[in-house]
Chains A and B, each alone.
Chain A
Amino acid sequence: MATTTTPTTSAATSSAPAPAAPGVDVARAVRVGAIGSVALAFVAAIGMLQTFDNRVVFVPFLSLGDVIFFAVPLVTGYLAGVVPPGPMGGTPRVSAARALLGAAIAGVVVAALPAVLIATLRSDLDLRRTFPNLSPGLAQILTLGQEGAAGYLALLAVCVGLALVGGALLLTEERMRRAVVRGVEIVLVLALIELIARQFLGNLGLGALHQRLYVTNSGLRWLPAVVLFVLFTAVSYVLAGRRASARERMLRTGPERQRRSLIVTLVLAAALLVMPMLVGSIVNELFVNVGLFMLMALGLNIIVGYSGLLDLGHVTFFAVGAYGMAVLTSPASPGFAPELGWWLALPIIVAMAAAAGIFVGTPVIRLRGDYLAIVTLGFAAILERLFISDWLRPYFGGAQGIRRIPGVSVGATTVSGTDPRAMLYLTIGFVLVAVYVSWRLQGSRIGRAWAALREDETTAQAMGVDTTKAKLMAFVAGAMISSFAGALFAAKVGSVFPNSFELLVSIVILVIVIVGGMGHIPGVLLGAVVLIGILGGPRLPGLLQEFQDYKMLIYGTLLVYMMLMKPEGLLPSVRRTRELHQEEFLQDAWFDKKGHFTDDPDATGAEVAVTEASAPPIAGDAADGTEPR
């Protein structure tokens, strides 16, 4: 019925028009649909749809569960029509038939497994001993509340309909597509932050505006939602036209970029100073947690991002800071209770962390990448066990931890977790210090030594870089910054228990650094805001209660996705992107800005790639797998 043709490219002439679009690829549509079906059934079976169904986003029609339910066929429909890049690269135009018909086929397939699920749920078969999340409520969601055969029809309609929408998206111009996606993202986020908006607008005296837009303790009202969606889509569309392509933005250097950076920095700084006054204490508390993770991520960034040393046990330094502060300041510290003030104890903590950095760093100096990672993991695990042990209970409190840690005395008052606003200002202060230190380190001589170390250790050694000292300095610097987080944490919560320092925390920090942008400070900060702010840490809640059960799953998925697709992170540094996408850049030498094949050197981005030497981003490894073990 359908023909599958490969894209034809016209060979030698420069700036040839886009190749003719191929026909419907049924095989691909079915395959993508099957994957989508499994994904939808999976998301249903883990209970995500039901949990998120409690969170209404667009009153009164859509809940977050519905949004996820709809997103799956939408994405599937979109992907069903995508034409894989041909042997010469480039993205051919897609025909309407291919997009829509393919999407429809995919949509039908997507409905398959959920239909089976509905049938099972409606029958007498109770699978809840095996799959505790397959409750009858799930059937309600999947069938949009319809009974009997109408339910299956509803499911089919949703799947096919949304797949078609996805397919239609494929047909729109890229700019419009991006604008629509951006619009949806923004409106969704706005709907989810109802509580924050309530406090923010309330503190500004705009409570009435909040009432117009939102329903209290719920989501956005649907009419304002639609209006906002149209507004933001339009704005994104207009702005996209103005903005230069990503590649050009990355290439921009010199005074223009510096000026831009300065303006952005000043605006952000002003916002930072004012924000804690304007939002309520939930947000302040949330941002304190974000700030703590920012500090740890900045510390890890120096070790992983700048120096290319994979540290899987970074929570060690956080623990040193927290337990150190507990022992030094708390009157309840068993064994040794000097009861110093927080500020007085801080330099001691930092020194201890530096020592810890040396202790962890020295044995691993001569190890190659993966063994280094495992040894750091081992150290963190050993330390965790030591803190909880009965053996060291006379010093660290064992399972009971150390309580009654006083807060930070600032002027006449004591700042602790009961006052999130002050705590946030304090945390922001430390984050700024850490950012400044990281930034200066990156541009300093040791920073360049780290970069050399990351790119190729042997060459760096041959060029005279003292790699031993560089590695140790990386660990020491990272440890010192992370110990700030520990010290603040101890004062904030007022007690330290060993289970706050589990291995999971190290992994989460690693995810933040990687997803945000390895080696790039704004990226790391953004990663912390997005991940900890929305999902929360291993034992800290994020913005939404509903994510609690699924956040580690999302972290794992994110890590895999980013590693496969975009290892440089969400907000990457220019250099890292070049390193990691070496091959694509080399290929781009043959394509003009529209993605058409050309051999006109003036039209291409050839200046970008040709002269760079191949550069693996993490120290001690060749780019291929054939190095001797």
Chain B
Amino acid sequence: MRMLRKGVRTAAIVAAASLVLTACGNGDTADLTDDTEADADATGDEETDDPGDDPDEDAAEAGDLGSVTYQEGEAIQIRSLEAISGDVAFLGIPNQRGTEIAIADYGDVQGFAVELGTPLDDLCSADGGQSAAQTIVSDDTVAGVIGTSCSGAGVPASELISSAGMVMVSASNTNPALTQTPFGTEGENFSEGYYRTAHNDLYQGAAVAEFVYEELGLTQMAAIHDGDPYTDGLTTAFQDAFTELGGEVVVYTAVNKGDTDMVPVLTEVAGENPEGIFVPIFPPEVNRVAEQYVNVEGLEDVVMISADGAQVEGFLEIAEAEGFYFSGPSLQFEGNNNEITDKSATDFLEDYQEQYGEAPSAAFWAHAYDATTLLLQAIDNVAEVGDDGSLTIDRAALRDELYSTSFQGLIGQITCDEFGDCGAGEIQIILHEDSSVTDATQIPVVYTFVPSE
């Protein structure tokens, strides 16, 4: 009886609250566009100077999203949002540093310095990415963002940044839904103002499938992922593409991050007699797989294929990694120059080594460098210096500029299409046979896949 009374009381309160909130009528979504105006306007008043801005509409007219103005002596603010802490730091830190070097190389924008501010952490998770993005969008002096590292974080972050009128360029998000589907339509998580120089994972899955089926002639494959949305997305894409080509994924299974004993999962795989295993997981799990698969009866001769998550020194240097194939974005930067800063990949790596005392720990630094120069050049093209010496950047114009940019970068030709895919999207398969070579760019390429548009 008491319980019932309490329950009724609670329900009544909840109902009353929802009625009140309903009655409050129009909420504060318009408020966010307030933040994009210059500092002085902030009064907490609900009025907007711009006409009702619906973030879902295409920002076709200039001036729709407001602008950001820097006074003389101030610096243009851009932000870096990567996975820089914890066990995924090896992914995000090279991107952040790539951005830093690019800013230094680019120099001033029309006499105004460019500042990166405190590097932000996307925590490789949706909630982390959202919170960090919130920090960015509430600072209305920010013009653009380079990030995120993890696709899971990219989804809410891109949404937030888009509704704030800002722009974001990612160097490592590869999840297909963020930009477009293979049919040329808008991806499920597409946001206006989001761009990326990284490739699309659907193509990577297709590339591996094609390579395995046509080049290696294998028809029975196993696939192992590690519970990460990225690796799981890759194995799913691979499975779909491989099956369509006529092959069969005889066993599709997974390990957990932190697992060290791979014998059970390898026994499970061995039981189905695959000819090869696609295992695009990260170190240290991929190290354990490499060390243990040779001891499992039935797997002595399988072909092992991993992906760019494992193309790091920590894995490439072990003897057991010899013989592995790796899929990943095309890393043939030899001879490529970023035409904006006139920097070659070799120069970049030298700078990196000198400044940070080590080589980059993951493969997307060039994508980050190009992403930053992309952003800076667009800002440069769009920014206008006023009579009082202040610099104004119209946000809508910046977006349009980015959508129509095309230049030669470290990773190849950078051309942004209407969905934000800017990179060339080429996938390469490399064969690692010498464990003394730990730089993925030096490993010989055995296959190249170009997505057919």
Neighbour of A411 across the interface among B24, B120, B139, CB < 8 A: B24
Neighbour of A278 across the interface among B44, B132, B357, CB < 8 A: B44
A411 to B134, Cβ gap below 8 A? no
Q: How far, in whole Å, are A496 and B139 apart by their CA atoms in the complex?
A: 27
Measured CB to CB, the nearest residue on chain B to A409 is: B22
Neighbour of B23 across the interface among A278, A411, A492, CB < 8 A: A411
Q: Does B156 contact A (CB under 8 A)?
A: yes
Measured CB to CB, the nearest residue on chain B to A135 is: B357
Supposing A203-B44, A539-B128 touch, asked if A282 and B24 sit within 8 A by C-beta, the answer is: no
Distance from A326 Cβ to chain B, minimum over Cβ atoms (Å): 12
Per-residue contact bits, chain B 101-133, to A (CB 8 Å; 1 contact, 0 not)? 000000000000000011111010111101110
Chain B residues within an 8 Å CB radius of A280: 35, 138
A493 to B227, Cβ gap below 8 A? no
Neighbour of B2 across the interface among A401, A418, A425, A444, CB < 8 A: A444
Supposing A399-B228, A419-B29 touch, asked if A541 and B14 sit within 8 A by C-beta, the answer is: no
Majority SS of interface residues in chain A? Answer: helix
Chain B residues within an 8 Å CB radius of A549: 85-86
Chain A residues within an 8 Å CB radius of B256: 385, 388
Q: Does B287 contact A (CB under 8 A)?
A: no
Q: How far, in whole Å, are A540 and B132 apart by their CA atoms in the complex?
A: 8
Q: Does A289 contact B (CB under 8 A)?
A: yes
Measured CB to CB, the nearest residue on chain A to B163 is: A418
Chain A residues within an 8 Å CB radius of B43: 203, 205
B253 to A497, Cβ gap below 8 A? no
Q: Does A417 contact B (CB under 8 A)?
A: yes
Chain A residues within an 8 Å CB radius of B28: 413, 419, 421-422
B188 to A417, Cβ gap below 8 A? no
Neighbour of B134 across the interface among A202, A205, A281, A347, CB < 8 A: A281
A411 to B233, Cβ gap below 8 A? no
Q: Does A161 contact B (CB under 8 A)?
A: no
Q: How far, in whole Å, are A417 and B119 apart by their CA atoms in the complex?
A: 22
Q: How far, in whole Å, are A172 and B225 apart by their CA atoms in the complex?
A: 63
A388 to B27, Cβ gap below 8 A? no
Chain B residues within an 8 Å CB radius of A400: 229, 232-233
Measured CB to CB, the nearest residue on chain B to A437 is: B10
Distance from B228 Cβ to chain A, minimum over Cβ atoms (Å): 6
Supposing A285-B131, A411-B27, A436-B13 touch, asked if A498 and B120 sit within 8 A by C-beta, the answer is: no
Q: Does A489 contact B (CB under 8 A)?
A: yes
Q: How far, in whole Å, are A347 and B135 apart by their CA atoms in the complex?
A: 33
Supposing A203-B44, A282-B138, A446-B2 touch, asked if A410 and B21 sit within 8 A by C-beta, the answer is: yes
Q: How far, in whole Å, are A346 and B10 apart by their CA atoms in the complex?
A: 13
A413 to B26, Cβ gap below 8 A? yes
Q: Does A266 contact B (CB under 8 A)?
A: no
A415 to B156, Cβ gap below 8 A? no
Chain A residues within an 8 Å CB radius of B52: none
B31 to A493, Cβ gap below 8 A? no
A399 to B44, Cβ gap below 8 A? no
Q: How far, in whole Å, are A404 and B128 apart by their CA atoms in the complex?
A: 17
Measured CB to CB, the nearest residue on chain A to B42 is: A202
Q: Does A343 contact B (CB under 8 A)?
A: yes
A418 to B29, Cβ gap below 8 A? yes
Q: Does B279 contact A (CB under 8 A)?
A: no
- Total contacting residues, chain B, CB less than 8 A: 66
Q: Does A332 contact B (CB under 8 A)?
A: yes
A433 to B14, Cβ gap below 8 A? yes
A289 to B131, Cβ gap below 8 A? yes
Measured CB to CB, the nearest residue on chain B to A537 is: B127
B227 to A498, Cβ gap below 8 A? yes
B188 to A404, Cβ gap below 8 A? yes
Q: Does B382 contact A (CB under 8 A)?
A: no
A429 to B138, Cβ gap below 8 A? no
Chain B residues within an 8 Å CB radius of A494: 126, 155-156, 159
Q: Does B39 contact A (CB under 8 A)?
A: yes
Q: How far, in whole Å, are A400 and B39 apart by their CA atoms in the complex?
A: 39
Q: Does A217 contact B (CB under 8 A)?
A: yes
Distance from A128 Cβ to chain B, minimum over Cβ atoms (Å): 8
Supposing A280-B138, A399-B232, A495-B156 touch, asked if A419 and B32 sit within 8 A by C-beta, the answer is: yes
Q: Does A458 contact B (CB under 8 A)?
A: no
Q: How far, in whole Å, are A531 and B22 apart by their CA atoms in the complex?
A: 33
Q: Does B302 contact A (CB under 8 A)?
A: no
Neighbour of A54 across the interface among B6, B44, B118, B152, CB < 8 A: B118
A403 to B26, Cβ gap below 8 A? no
Supposing A385-B256, A540-B127 touch, asked if A445 and B2 sit within 8 A by C-beta, the answer is: yes
Distance from A46 Cβ to chain B, minimum over Cβ atoms (Å): 13
Chain B residues within an 8 Å CB radius of A497: 125-126, 152, 229
29 intermolecular pairs with C-beta atoms under 8 Å apart: A128-B357, A278-B44, A281-B32, A289-B131, A343-B18, A401-B229, A411-B21, A411-B25, A412-B27, A413-B29, A417-B156, A418-B32, A419-B31, A422-B29, A489-B127, A493-B126, A493-B127, A494-B155, A495-B126, A495-B155, A497-B125, A497-B152, A540-B127, A540-B128, A541-B121, A541-B123, A545-B119, A545-B120, A549-B85
Interface set of B (CB-CB < 8 Å, partner A): 2, 6, 10-11, 13-14, 17-18, 21-29, 31-32, 35, 39-40, 42-44, 85-86, 117-121, 123, 125-128, 130-132, 134-135, 137-139, 152, 155-156, 159-160, 163, 177, 188-189, 225, 227-229, 231-233, 252-254, 256, 357
Interface set of A (CB-CB < 8 Å, partner B): 54, 128, 195, 199, 202-203, 205, 207, 217, 277-278, 280-282, 285-286, 289, 332, 343, 346-347, 385, 388, 390, 398-401, 403-404, 410-413, 415, 417-422, 425-426, 429, 433, 436-437, 440-441, 444-446, 489, 492-500, 539-541, 545, 548-549
9 additional contacts (CB under 8 A) given A404-B189, A418-B32, A541-B135: A285-B135, A385-B256, A401-B152, A410-B21, A411-B21, A413-B28, A494-B126, A541-B121, A549-B86
For the complex of A and B, 3 pairs with smallest distance between CB atoms: A413-B27, A399-B232, A285-B134
